[in-house]
Amino acid sequence: MNARLVTEGVTIRGEARHRPAFEWLARVGLVARGVSYGIIGVLALKLAVGSGGKTTDQEGALKTIAHQSFGKALLIAMAIGLACYAAWRLLRAAIGHGTEQEDSTLDRISGVSAGIGYAALAFTAVKIVAGAGGGSSSPKQTAGGVLDWPAGRVIVAVVGAILIGEAVYEAYKGVSRKFLEDSKTEEMSPAVKRGFTAIGVFGHLARTVVFGLIGYGVIKAAIDYDPSNAIGLDGALSKLANYSYGPFLLGVVAAGFIGFALYSIADARYRRV
C-alpha cells in the first residue's frame, strides 16, 4: 500500500513538471516582475537626473500603472502576471523541482518567501483595480507593532539579518554569475549572452545595495528600539539620494533596477523552469 502511494506521488510530481501550464506560469510571471522593477527604476532615475521622478516600491509601481491610459486593463494584466509568478514559485517550492532542474532546500525556502510576497502584491493590484487602494502597512508600522511583542526586538533583528543575508546572496549571484545556471545560455548567441550577462550582473548588484540598506535599517530599528529606522524599497532609494554624491548613487542603482527588469523579461524567454 505504501509503495503504491509513493509511486502515485512520484507520478503526480512528474506530471506537474511537464505540464505546459507550469512553464507559462513562470514566463508570464517573470515578465510581470520585470515590468514592476522597470517602473521603479525609471521613476528613480528621473529623480536622480532632476526630471520630476520619485522613489517608490512595487506597490507604488502598480499605482503608477493605474494612472496611465488604459491603466485598469494594464493593472489587471499585471495582477494576473504577478499571481502567475507567485503560483509558480509556491508550486515549485512544494514539489521541489521545475521542468528542467531540481531545487535545493534553500531554493525552496526562497520560493515560499517570494511566492507569498508576490501573491500579496497581486492581491494589492486587484484592490487598486477595485478602487480600494493598496492599504498595506508601512515598514515603520510593521516594525513598531512587532517591537512591542515578547522578544519583538529579537524577531525584528532576525528579519534584518535575513535581508542582509539576501543582499549577500544577491552579490554572490551577481559577481559569480551564478544566475546564469538558471538560464538556457546554450540557446543564446554570443552577443545575446554577453548582453544578458551584463544586465544580470548589474541588476543583481543593484538589488544587493537596496536589500542591504533595508536590512541595516531593520536591524537598527531593533537595536535602537525605534521603528522609524525601518525602511522599505522606496525608503532605501531615498536614503541613497541623501548620501554624498546621492544623485549619482541613486542613478546607478536606478539604472541597475532597469537592468534587472530587462534581465527578468529576457529570462522569461531563456529561464530553465
In order, the DSSP letters of 155-170 are: HHHHHHHHHHHHHHHH
Identify the pLDDT of residue 87.
94
Q: How far is CA 22 from the centre of its chain?
A: 19
Q: Could you tell me where the DSSP H helices lie in the chain?
A: 2-18, 20-48, 58-66, 71-95, 105-129, 139-147, 152-176, 190-224, 233-241, 246-270
Tens place of pLDDT per residue across the chain (273 aa): 444 433 444 444 455 555 688 889 999 999 999 999 999 999 999 999 988 888 988 889 999 998 888 889 999 999 999 999 999 999 998 988 776 778 888 788 888 989 999 999 999 999 998 886 655 566 878 887 888 888 889 999 999 999 999 999 999 999 999 999 999 999 999 999 999 999 999 999 999 999 999 999 999 999 998 888 888 889 999 988 888 888 999 999 999 999 999 999 999 999 988
Q: ∠ at Cα 32 (95, 165), nearest 5°?
A: 60
pLDDT of residue 45: 95
Q: Minimal CA–CA distance to 138: which of 45, 59, 29, 64?
A: 59
Q: 71 near 97, Cβ under 8 Å?
A: no
State the pLDDT at residue 161: 94
Q: At what angle do helices 2-18 and 71-95 cross, to 10 degrees?
A: 150
Torsion sign, CA atoms 271, 26, 258, 162: negative
Per domain, the residue ranges of the chain are 16-270
d(CA 76, CA 65): 10
Tell me what pLDDT residue 151 has: 86
Question: Which residues, in sequence order, are bridge partners of residue 97?
Answer: 102
Tally the residues of the chain.
273
For residue 5, the model assigns a pLDDT of 39
pLDDT at 1: 44
Burial of residue 82, with CB atoms counted within 10 A of its CB: 0-12 exposed, 13-18 middle, 19 or more buried:
buried
- Amino acid residing at 202: F
Is the CB of residue 128 less than 8 Å from the CB of residue 72?
Answer: no
Question: pLDDT value at position 175?
Answer: 97
The contacts of residue 128 (CB under 8 Å, 6+ apart) are: 62, 63, 66, 75, 134
Distance between CA atoms of 246 and 27, rounded to whole angstroms? Answer: 35
What is the model's pLDDT at position 123?
93
* Predicted local confidence at residue 77, as pLDDT: 96
Residue 137 pLDDT: 63
